[in-house]
Structure 1
Amino acid sequence: MAIYKVAVATGDVAEAGTNNTISITLVGSQGESRRTTVSSLFLPGQEKRLSVDCRQDLGPIVLIRLHKWRIFLEDAWFCKDVRVTAPDGTLYRFPCYQWLEGVTTVEVREGSGKKLVDDELQILKEHRRGELAARQEAYRWKNYAQGWPRCLNVGSIHELDSNIQFSCIRATNFTGFLILQGASHFLSGFLLRCTSWDSLDEMRTIFSRTQGRDIGGCLVYPS
């Protein structure tokens, strides 16, 4: 029997967690595991650990399948990444960074960069073809008007997949960061200044976090 150690991480963005059931299937070059439940409760930034027992060694893990299933209410989940440790200690990383919505299954390839010619297994070739077809379906273009730049062939942004559109959650995070930076500049005196700088030393007191950046043609380092 081969035992694989799995760590499933939820993103730390707002509302990234879910109370829907998430399960996982490991796919290797010599077979795949049974579908194993990870958990039914994920909190933002949380990492779940589990063991996946297999009757035999699966060989190098080439991709994973994440299954999302719900009983009652829909609750989208943002998966950050998955790490799988094989019985021989080999660590496989699967960066996900996407939302899973509805009852769905998402396949995620191992994170090592590979070219098309490197895909020797049929399952990897099929995965690449499916991924390309999905992108072609999602990014279709149309002519809005004669002489205008082409735009996406959708009637509304709500028709786009949540991983494509600039969601309310992303907008909220961006706005919060903007407010934080604005408050920082206000407290430092930058936003209230209405006269010219007297010296680079004065600028350095305002931009105290600037290290090794080009200011006024000089490379400034803290003294």
Structure 2
Amino acid sequence: MAVYRVTVATGDVAEAGTKNNISITLVGATGESPQTTIGCRLYPGQEKELSVSCSRELGAVVLVRLHKAQVFLEDSWFCREIRVRAPDSPVRRFPCYQWLEGNCVLEVREGSAQKLSDDALPVLLEQRRRELAQRQRAFEWKSFAEGWPHCLRVESVEELDSNVKFSGVRDRHFNGALLYHQASLQLSGFLSRAAPWQSLQEMTTVFSRAKGRDIGGCLPAPTPA
């Protein structure tokens, strides 16, 4: 029996965790492992460790399959990476950085870059074929009007996969950063300033990150009595 040590890392962005059921299958050069449950409560930034037992060694692990099963309510999951340590072998990394939604299966390759000509194993060639077909369906073009550039064959941006559209999480991060910098400029006096700049040094008090911002430092000085 061969035992593989697996670490599954959830992304550290907001709402990356899930309460849906997540499981994993290791795909090696000479066979596949049984589908093994990772858990149904994964939290942002968490690294979950588990053992995957096989009746025999799988050879070099070239793919991992992540299975997501929706339980009652949909709860998307953002996987950062998977690390696999085979018996008497170094750790192999499988970077993911993708959202899994609904009931789905995602195949993740080992992190070293490979060209099509490098794929000697049938399982890798088949995975590449499936991935290409899926991308062709996801990014199918249509003609909006004669003479216009082609556009995606979707009626709304909501139909797009979360991995290719500007997500709600990113939108909140963007708006949060915008509000923070607006407040910073307001407190520094920049947004309410009506008088002209007196020098570059005065501007530095607002825009220099190295020196920080003196609150009110760029407000007009009171006129001497």
With the shorter chain as reference, the TM-score category is: 0.7 to 0.9
- Give the aligned CA root-mean-square deviation in angstroms: 2.2
Q: Which amino acid aligns with 2:100?
A: L
Tell me the matched-pair count. 210
User: Contact conserved, 2:64 with 2:109, CA < 8 A, in 1?
Assistant: yes
1:19-77 Cα shifts (integer Å, max 9, x gaps) = 11111011111211111111110111211111112222222110100011134222111
1:145-196 Cα shifts (integer Å, max 9, x gaps) = 2332221111111222222222222211221122223333444555455634
1:75-134 Cα shifts (integer Å, max 9, x gaps) = 111111111122224111111111111121111111111111000000100111111111
% of aligned pairs identical? 56
CA pair 146-20 structure 1, distance change in 2 beyond 3 A? same
Moved over 6 A (4+): none
Q: What SS does structure 2 have at the residue aligned with 1:32?
A: coil
1:199-214 mapped onto 2 (5 Å cutoff)? 199=200, 203=204, 206-209=207-210
The runs of 5 or more residues in structure 2 that have no matched partner are 212-225
Q: What SS does structure 1 have at the residue aligned with 2:95?
A: strand
Shift, 1:205, TM fit: 7.1
Q: TM-score, normalised by structure 1?
A: 0.84
Shift, 1:204, TM fit: 7.1
Aligned counterpart, 2:56: 56
Q: Which amino acid aligns with 2:174?
A: F
Q: TM-score, normalised by structure 2?
A: 0.84
The runs of 5 or more residues in structure 1 that have no matched partner are 211-223
User: Contact conserved, 1:189 with 1:206, CA < 8 A, in 2?
Assistant: no
1:4-43 mapped onto 2 (5 Å cutoff)? 4-43=4-43
Q: What SS does structure 1 have at the residue aligned with 2:64?
A: strand
